[in-house]
A and B are shown apart, each in its own frame.
Chain A
């Protein structure tokens, strides 16, 4: 009775691809330079070039790629934050690997990151485009100028979006 369905190269699959690639690249970057910063902008742009040119992978629009990439970076950060908090949850933390100060920073940042994630979810309800601007800027590392180009909107609109979004999120997170 059930007829098999074929998996098409859907948006979902593209997202999974972007996510997996970014994750692998981020892991490699972190492993290769232990104490260097993870450079979001570099990662995302490198991936864009690779996927678009070398592999001929077609995104309908650059905005599609960058929004996937931003979403993927968001996942990466949130998973990392949850891992950090989960492992500290037992309260048995031995302060070997991290001194007090950086541990404090790690925990605070993890909590902040989760709060940011939640605030962004709420912003999406209130103003979806403003939320997208935040994702593209904060997670995909685009400048506001680039965000405007990507979304095909003028700089002034993006500035207004960003200002509203920033105030909304900061108000939520405090």
Chain B
């Protein structure tokens, strides 16, 4: 039979035919009446003239549709979320503000509602809106109008409810009350402090102006609309990290007009203009040349302070403005961002100095400023937003402060930091936001464009390079970190072997090589450092730290004996340090790290003892995150040992610790949740496990976790489905786990191996014997690597391999893996009630016959152990199995 002609074939065949022939063709070759009707409509449409849309092309259609206005569509009495609108307070380009209220338990709460002019339809844009909103909701300061709530209505209408402030613009307030100069400055300090708080939370106002800076009748400052400009950003919809177009010309900084990156310096500029207006009474028109406040014309100055408009009356005021205050305003409102105050806090401090009659900081450009200008001429197109800038600043200061203890060294470090920040902050304008390099690129570029002055000093140059290299590694860019650290090494080569810069450079390079998996090379670079006699080491490096790195290197090389040996020396060194009164805080980390290495070396019992010590130490003074890490390790050990109650309690506790961090973490680690599911599955509590694994998968997909980590969850899903006797679903989940697991690095062989095993078990349960056999044959090859890579998952791998072998009737093979499992559990001193120990014993008994079978299971100790876990589903299942075997044996 000929293939069925496609719609297009028929259409094109019918086109040249006269009408009657067309009808015949359709009758013959198009039996489906629906398709025939469609073809007839198409042929009729083909005969008509006209564009696809009546308006013409896409652009003209967009024009005809026009921009929709919010307030027209929402009269008083309309509701948005839980709020009822009362009246329009203001309307701007991208948003409309309403007075609104809601009644809750008899209380009427009045709020200001901002509605975005456009809708948010895509999941991505809605998530972006929510993220921004959450950042703002966390911003709490008495001087900032609070964000009460925000949301997106079903229709895609995004809104935010803000604290409704009863107050008047700061400039009007000062004029009406005829505040003296000093009172104005004090009021302005409150504004700076509020802005500073927001900047610390990485939120830039972007639109500071008198109408957003209100003073309440009680005399409190309230800033409105913090960060709202970004929320209203037209481009939220499209790309993250972009800038907005909404601005108020008189207060907008030059970089805003130029569509250049917006930073905290942008707000400093607006504060400068605001201060000028507050002090002089003049409204500075956009882009007029800047004259100092003391030169304001007499009528304006007199009007602002309620003085007689005569030169003599305003002369004392002029004198007070001249000098410091002129300089402060000019520095804050300087057109070049890098010459302004570095923060609102720095501006406030200068005003405080002025109020205390101390010399202010507003002064001519510094040496670093000049160096920055030099560098600026040589840099490539680099642009940066405030978030980037602050991220770099934070990591740089952290790295430098850690490296530098002595006070004068710290000052030098700060100078370098300022320089680098200058370099990064004063950026080229014409790179679009979405193509701006990411932070690692910026750091790398900064390192490449260091000025000659720095390059001429090898020690300083090396120091800067290794610092930036360390930052890059910590930011997850080990490749470029390696480049910088190798350059640092070349610079440091002429320095004495035991000098701080040379040792730090070497340590940084080794850490990066470890991150890159180049363990052998790391070992070669580490050897000379380890050879330095401990007392010759520089004061900022401890022998213990070097040993810890050595342990990690050997762990990575798979030289477990050597790794454990270094680990023991490391612990001894830290214990000695602590006994001498230094670095005691490091012992918690050190014991934890050695415990992990011991577990990696399959020394479960010994690792457990050290993990207990780590836990005890961390419970005294560790951060919740670090504590959660160790508690999770404890849970893993308990799971290995079959102590499922303890394992679950620890998993829950680790989760609670992570949760206690609130929203301050960008991404909470998911490991405690993964671990809890593993425990539930060991208990064979399939329903709970499945519910939790689904929630986990949702989270992982939402945050685009690596496919390798998703594969583990899919494995868990498959295991739960098998327990629920849903073989088809189990096969599907295991198939996904196989595909995702294929992306895993070598170190996660266990995921790949287990995916194969679970796939086989699911196929066997679904009745596909040959498929299951194939999966089993493939999985056998993984035995050794799984054991070497992840001893903690070894029992799980063995029990499920045993189960698959039993299901396929390979009794001898099942017996072999069951014995391997028993041996592993013995080594870890796992108690007799370990459910997998009991299951392994039953497997061996089932394969045996007659008397040996009875000997294995007709045993008081077995009964007692089984009785201990009877409350768990796995215990009930095993008891049932045992009863069956017993009945069989005695028959």
The answer on A and B forming one complex is: yes
- On chain A, the number of residues with a Cβ less than 8 Å from chain B's Cβ atoms is 71
The interface-forming segment of A60-68, A103-111, A148-156 is A103-111
Give the distance to chain A from B279, nearest Cβ to Cβ, in Å.
34
Q: Out of B74, B237, B705, B744, name the residue touching A92 (CB < 8 Å).
A: B74
Answer whether residue B456 sits at the interface, using C-beta atoms and an 8 A cutoff.
Answer: no
Interface string of B217-254 (1 = CB under 8 A from A): 00000000000000000110111001001000000000
B211 sits at the interface (CB 8 A)? no
Of all chain A residues, the one with the shortest Cβ separation from B156 is: A86
Does B432 sit within 8 A of A, measured CB to CB?
yes
Mask of B49-61 contacts with A, CB within 8 angstroms, 1/0: 0001111011111
Asked if B48 contacts A170 (CB within 8 A), the reply is yes
Q: Nearest CB to that of A110 among chain B residues?
A: B65
CB B291 to nearest CB in A, in angstroms, measures 31
Q: In this assembly, does A118 line the interface, its C-beta being within 8 Å of a C-beta of chain B?
A: no
Asked, given contacts A3-B709, A112-B54, A170-B52, whether A83 binds B119 with beta carbons under 8 Å apart, the answer is: yes
Let me know if B235 and A23 touch, CB within 8 A.
yes
B336 within 8 A of A: no
Residues A113 and B74 in contact in the complex (CB < 8 Å), given A3-B708, A3-B745, A37-B59: no
Residues on the B chain within 8 Å of A84, using CB: 65-66, 68
- Contact of A1 with B709 in the complex, beta carbons under 8 Å: yes
Closest to A165 in B: B52
A87, B61: Cβ atoms under 8 Å?
Answer: no
Q: B794 an interface residue at 8 Å Cβ cutoff?
A: no
Flag if B66 contacts A106 (CB, 8 Å). yes
The answer to whether B7 has its CB under 8 Å from any CB of chain A is: yes
A1 to B45, CA, bound (A): 59
Do the beta carbons of B75 and A171 come within 8 Å of each other? no
Smallest CB gap from B705: residue in A: A2
Query: When the two chains form the complex, which single residue of A39, A73, A98 contacts B66, counting CB atoms closer than 8 Å?
Result: A98
Closest 10 CB pairs of A and B: A2-B709, A170-B45, A171-B41, A20-B239, A20-B238, A87-B73, A167-B42, A167-B46, A87-B68, A40-B59
Q: Find the A residue at minimum CB distance from B238.
A: A20
Q: Is A141 touching B53 in the complex (CB atoms < 8 A)? A: no
B61 partner residues in chain A, CB cutoff 8 A:
77, 109, 112-113
Residues of A within 8 A of B8 (CB): 126-127, 130, 164
- CB-CB < 8 A to A166: which residues of B? 45-46, 52
Residues of B contacting A163 in the complex (Cβ-Cβ under 8 angstroms): 15, 46
| Chain B neighbourhood of A73, CB < 8 A | 58
Q: A161 — nearest CB in chain B belongs to which residue?
A: B8
**Which of A28, A160, A171: most chain B Cβ within 10 A?**
A171
B577-607 CB mask vs A (1 if < 8 Å, else 0) is 0000000000000000000000000000000
Q: Are B53 and A116 in contact (CB under 8 A)?
A: yes
Given A16-B238, A167-B46: 5 more A-B contacts, CB < 8 Å? A2-B705, A5-B706, A82-B121, A93-B72, A164-B12
Contact B476 A90, beta carbon cutoff 8 Å = no
Q: Which of B45, B65, B70, B433 contacts A20 (CB 8 A)?
A: B433
Closest to A96 in B: B72
What is the chain B residue whose CB lies nearest that of A94?
A: B72
- B402 interface hit (Cβ, 8 Å): no
Interchain CA distance A3-B704 in the complex, whole Å: 11
Contact (Cβ within 8 A) A106 B64: yes
Q: A27-B245, A86-B155 are in contact. Are A138 and B57 (CB under 8 A)?
A: yes
Bound: A99/B79 CA distance, A: 26
Does A171 lie within 8 Å of B44, measured CB to CB? yes
Q: Return chain A residues, CB-CB under 8 Å to B245.
A: 27-28, 31
Q: Which residues from B are CB-within-8-Å of A93? A: 72-73
- Contact digits for A33-63, partner B, Cβ 8 Å, 1 yes 0 no: 0000111100000000000000101000000
Q: A3-B709, A20-B238, A79-B118 are in contact. Are A37 and B60 (CB under 8 A)?
A: yes
Distance between Cα atoms of A174 and B737 in the complex (Å) = 47
Residues of B within 8 A of A57 (CB): 435
* A24 interface residue (CB < 8 Å to B): yes
Complex contacts, A27 vs chain B, CB 8 Å? 234, 245
Asked if A138 and B52 make an inter-chain contact with CB atoms under 8 angstroms apart, the answer reads yes
Q: Which A residues are closer than 8 A to B by beta carbons?
A: 1-6, 16-17, 19-21, 23-24, 26-28, 31, 37-40, 55, 57, 73-74, 76-77, 79-84, 86-90, 92-94, 96-98, 102, 105-106, 108-110, 112-113, 116, 126-127, 130, 134, 138-139, 141, 160, 163-164, 166-171, 173-174
**Once bound together, how far apart are the Cα atoms of A40 and B53, in whole Å?**
15
Complex CA gap A105/B64 in Å reads: 7
Query: In the complex the two chains form, is A37's CB within 8 Å of B63's CB?
Result: yes
Q: List the B side residues contacting A4 at CB < 8 Å.
A: 476, 706
Across the A-B interface, how many residue pairs have beta carbons closer than 8 Å?
195
B439: min CB distance to chain A, Å: 12
Residue ranges of B at the interface with A (Cβ–Cβ < 8 Å): 6-8, 11-12, 15, 38, 41-46, 48, 52-55, 57-70, 72-75, 78, 117-119, 121, 155-157, 234-235, 237-239, 242, 245, 431-435, 476, 670-671, 674, 700, 704-709, 712, 744-745, 748
* CA A74 to CA B431, docked complex, whole Å: 25
Residue numbers in A under 8 Å from B75 (CB-CB): 92, 94
- A167 contact set on B, CB distance < 8 A: 11, 42-43, 45-46
Check A24 against B46 for contact (C-beta < 8 Å): no
> Are B62 and A3 neighbours in the complex by a CB distance under 8 Å?
no
In the bound complex, residues from chain A placing their C-beta under 8 Å from that of B674 are 1
CA distance A3 to B64 in the complex (A): 50
| Minimal beta-carbon separation of B173 from chain A (angstroms) | 34
With both beta carbons as reference points, the residue of chain B lying nearest to A72 in the complex is identified as B238
> In the bound complex, what is the Cα–Cα distance between A139 and B432 (angstroms)?
23
Residues of chain A within 8 A (CB-CB) of B63 are: 37-38
| Closest-CB distance, B378 to chain A (whole angstroms) | 19
Task: Compute how far the CA of A31 lies from the CA of B58 in the bound complex, rounded to whole angstroms.
Answer: 18
> Are A19 and B708 in contact, with the CB atoms below 8 A?
no
Residues of B near A1 (CB, < 8 A) are: 671, 674, 709, 712, 748
The answer to whether B57 touches A141 (Cβ under 8 A) is yes
Indicate which residue in A81, A96, A168 contacts B65 across the interface (CB closer than 8 Å): A81
Pairs A–B under 8 Å by Cβ, sample size 25: A2-B700, A5-B707, A17-B435, A20-B434, A37-B60, A57-B435, A73-B58, A74-B58, A84-B66, A89-B155, A92-B75, A98-B66, A105-B64, A109-B54, A112-B54, A113-B65, A163-B15, A163-B46, A164-B8, A164-B12, A168-B42, A170-B52, A171-B38, A171-B41, A173-B52
CB-CB under 8 A from A19, the residues of chain B are 238-239
Q: In angstroms, how far is the closest chain B Cβ from the Cβ of A111?
A: 10
- Contacting residues, chain B, for A171 (C-beta < 8 A): 38, 41-42, 44-45
- Whole-angstrom CA separation of A79 from B435 in the bound complex: 24
Q: Contact at B57–A126, with CB atoms within 8 Å?
A: no
Q: Provide the bound-state CA to CA distance between A102 and B708, in Å.
A: 55
Contact indicator A105/B55 (Cβ below 8 Å): yes
Least CB distance, A69 to chain B, in whole angstroms = 11
On whether the beta carbons of A169 and B52 are closer than 8 Å, the reply is yes
Pick the most buried of A1, A92, A102, A139: most chain B CB atoms within 10 A of its CB: A1
Are A106 and B65 interface neighbours, CB within 8 A? yes
Nearest Cβ on chain A to B562's Cβ, whole angstroms: 25
Q: How far is the CA of A39 from the CA of B41 in the complex (A)?
A: 32
The contact of A87 among B15, B70, B242, B431, by CB within 8 Å, is B70
Minimum C-beta distance from A109 to chain B (A): 4
Q: How far is the CB of B547 from chain A (nearest CB, A)?
A: 26
Contact indicator B55/A138 (Cβ below 8 Å)? no
- Enumerate chain A residues within 8 angstroms of B7, measured Cβ to Cβ: 126-127, 168
> Inside 8 A of B712's CB, which chain A residues have their CB?
1
> Which residue on chain B has the smallest CB distance to residue A17?
B434
A92 to B72, CA, bound (A): 8
Contacting pair B237 A23 (CB below 8 A)? yes
Verify B118–A83 contact, CB threshold 8 A.
yes
Chain A residues within an 8 Å CB radius of B52? 116, 134, 138, 166, 169-170, 173
- Docked Cα-Cα span, A157 to B476, in Å, equals 49
Q: Which residues of chain A are within 8 angstroms of B706 by Cβ–Cβ distance?
A: 2-5
- Please indicate the chain A residues that have their CB under 8 angstroms from the CB of B238 in the complex: 16, 19-20, 23-24
- Among B62, B157, B434, chain A packs the most CB atoms within 10 A around the CB of B62
Residue of A nearest to B242 (CB): A20
